[in-house]
Structure 1
């Protein structure tokens, strides 16, 4: 190798080192707001995943509050079956979250191949309950437990991930309850959609029950052609257990998928259940090393840290070495605006929320929709009992924008409203919804699906 080539190789190696500590490798995933890279800790040779987030996009999309929450939660929960947050670092333009590298994929991938044996399902369910119990003991509720958020490591052991929607003790009301509905429709507990508040720990247990059902059956207990049908079934615990499930497993499922949260099994009762107890050994979470994530010592000095190129993508010869930091990374995060659902970081396309929950009756929501249509000069082209079709009056790229709005009263005190485009250009439809329809409905909206804050 000649001197010139050797020099180029050395420069490339230098550019692929992050803060004198991590060597950056291939990209693992990307979205509009973040990229995730494989990394290697040069001191320990340990593989890690590095989430690289552009602060400019965080400010624009108001995601900072959600990032701060996820970091705070992951600092509290260090457990063999929870993905570990190792470090948070930052420059002027980017934030870096270094997390445990879990390369076995999602538990969801196993479910796509069909049901599991009871032995395999029990193992994963035991590991899930162990992790959830540890979270609850720290005052943390996950609020979005589902197979897509359960990863598998090299040993086929489960790791709970994605704490973007989780809650901390300080987010609860004085009575200990949470109010903001969030989660994934097929897994969310019925009480989460009610306006009276809910116990996040009991809601997590319902989600665990749905996961156990899916592991054993190979499909979900509550299914429907749209989200409202799913909600309607879950509100009544309308499900059937196939005959191949053992009586002991059926009994446990029946104790988890209980509509009344007060009658639902607790974690302690789950752990005493005869089916669950078989072969169960509680992991020694306290034996894990202390967290390296400490917001009092993660500092960065603007005078000595060479920032990454803000105009280029991250990785592939764009990382630089940096001196010891002295500027607080959490102050960098705190200086930005408020945040929403962290999952938006990995959306590959901008999507307008299409479902909201209202505390009004279905008939009152329909009346409001008709008033909004008149106010915005939208023509009502069709109407049934709880369905309204509206159309714009101006011609767009693909004709006039049209939308269908369906209202479902899934419980006496809960109406779920779903929008869908039925004509016109998609971008024009999104703009109409974002700029005009959504603001006009603010007084009846309790929560848009996927946007929660407590």
Structure 2
């Protein structure tokens, strides 16, 4: 007799894989079970939000997202809550994380995109410092490399403090002038938002945001979720088997339409923060094997259904490496395992995965060619 699979549901949304993770929130792929629409579900822990006093920040974020309608700004659909969590339902945008291309990721944790006044740590204006970071990102998008980079941390700090960077010849004069005004090491004379909106290069093909006056800044729903209002409370159903993954989700996780990397152990690349392998072994066996391999490496293991959190506060020179793993069902006899760095240094994650993969050789699925080569 076939066993019924129970997917994780939050209200009317079927919840899938994790697509992003931060200090206070986790973002998961989800699907509206009534319409089939894919969404991104941002999940926040109520206790953490209140403990760190960021409730007002969340309310401002929601109010701003409610107001703006723009093709380059993620839409907010609704806000819900359970007894312990807050759920923000957002537009699902394909293409992966901006910081996964290696260029926008900080090199081994160095602050390539941080404003000089932040490095000085003498107090700074958050909005002005954020403008600098936006300037660094704009430079990378136009140039293809970081404006400030050095293997020596002190040299990097000096380059940032003096705004020592070189634009490639393909960047236009107006774009160079604009970037130079943003990457001004003096926050007092750095370009402001009103000045940016008047810049000739910035205004070219610029589409101003449309503010939805009907939405206004009504935050009744956000206030209600913090007060456990029955109107916005939803029920959570936990999955008891690995989350099933369909072909469209597989494609969204691959590079283009090449699914080859999803069905064999991937070669680790510089700055890569996650990797996947597949296995024909039962899901419980895979989870147990990962646990057996991780504990001798000094990791504390926290299991929840077919997800695991591996924590090691002493891993490597920087310490505090957290690794998240999850098992997905691709077919009745085939599972895909995602291993992702949740916290800590990327290089240490690479070292961890190499050790882990050695211990899991008998679990990873091999192609017929691989088996012939072994024989």
Normalised TM-score (structure 1): 0.44
Cα distance, 1:36 vs structure 2:
3.9
CA distance in 2, matches of 1:199, 1:34: 24
Q: Secondary structure at the match of 1:294?
A: helix
For residue 159 of structure 1, what is the aligned residue in structure 2?
Answer: none
For residue 55 of structure 2, what is the aligned residue in structure 1?
Answer: 68
Question: In the superposition, relative to structure 1, how do residues 254 and 314 fare at CA in structure 2: closer, same or farther (>3 Å)?
Answer: farther
CA distance in 2, matches of 1:265, 1:255: 6
- Give the alignment partner of residue 103 of structure 1, picking from 94, 118, 130: 94
For residue 237 of structure 1, what is the aligned residue in structure 2?
Answer: 163
**Aligned pairs (5 A) from 1:222-371:** 222-286=148-212, 289=215, 294-298=221-225, 299=228, 308=237, 316=243
8 Å contact 2:9–2:237 — kept in the other structure? no
8 Å contact 1:38–1:101 — kept in the other structure? yes
CA distance in 2, matches of 1:47, 1:66: 31
| Structure 1 position 190 matched with structure 2 position 134 | no
CA distance in 2, matches of 1:184, 1:201: 21
CA distance in 2, matches of 1:23, 1:42: 6
- Give the alignment partner of residue 132 of structure 2, picking from 185, 206, 217: 206
Cα distance, 1:269 vs structure 2:
1.9
CA distance in 1, matches of 2:139, 2:179: 7
Question: In the superposition, relative to structure 1, how do residues 23 and 63 fare at CA in structure 2: closer, same or farther (>3 Å)?
Answer: same
Structure number with the higher strand fraction is 2
Cα distance, 1:262 vs structure 2:
1.8
| Structure 1 position 39 matched with structure 2 position 23 | no
Long gaps (5+) in structure 1 = 113-146, 150-182, 318-346, 349-396, 399-424, 433-448, 450-454
The CA RMSD over aligned residues, in Å, is 4.6
**Aligned pairs (5 A) from 1:303-452:** 308=237, 316=243, 426-427=314-315
CA distance in 2, matches of 1:230, 1:44: 50
Aligned residues: 247
For residue 350 of structure 2, what is the aligned residue in structure 1?
Answer: none
Question: In the superposition, relative to structure 1, how do residues 206 and 93 fare at CA in structure 2: closer, same or farther (>3 Å)?
Answer: closer
Bigger relative contact order, structure 1 or 2, given CA contacts below 8 A and separation 6+?
Answer: 1
For residue 39 of structure 2, what is the aligned residue in structure 1?
Answer: 48
CA distance in 2, matches of 1:111, 1:203: 22
CA distance in 2, matches of 1:221, 1:270: 20
CA distance in 2, matches of 1:428, 1:45: 44
- Give the alignment partner of residue 73 of structure 2, picking from 46, 62, 82: 82
For residue 352 of structure 1, what is the aligned residue in structure 2?
Answer: none
Question: In the superposition, relative to structure 1, how do residues 69 and 225 fare at CA in structure 2: closer, same or farther (>3 Å)?
Answer: farther
8 Å contact 1:190–1:234 — kept in the other structure? yes
Cα distance, 1:206 vs structure 2:
1.4
8 Å contact 1:85–1:293 — kept in the other structure? no
| Structure 1 position 219 matched with structure 2 position 145 | yes
For residue 327 of structure 1, what is the aligned residue in structure 2?
Answer: none
Cα distance, 1:426 vs structure 2:
4.1
For residues 70-100 of structure 1, the C-alpha deviation after alignment (integer angstroms, 9 at most, x for no partner) is: 5223212122233344444333455433222
Question: In the superposition, relative to structure 1, how do residues 292 and 261 fare at CA in structure 2: closer, same or farther (>3 Å)?
Answer: closer
Long gaps (5+) in structure 2 = 245-272, 275-295, 298-312, 321-343, 345-375
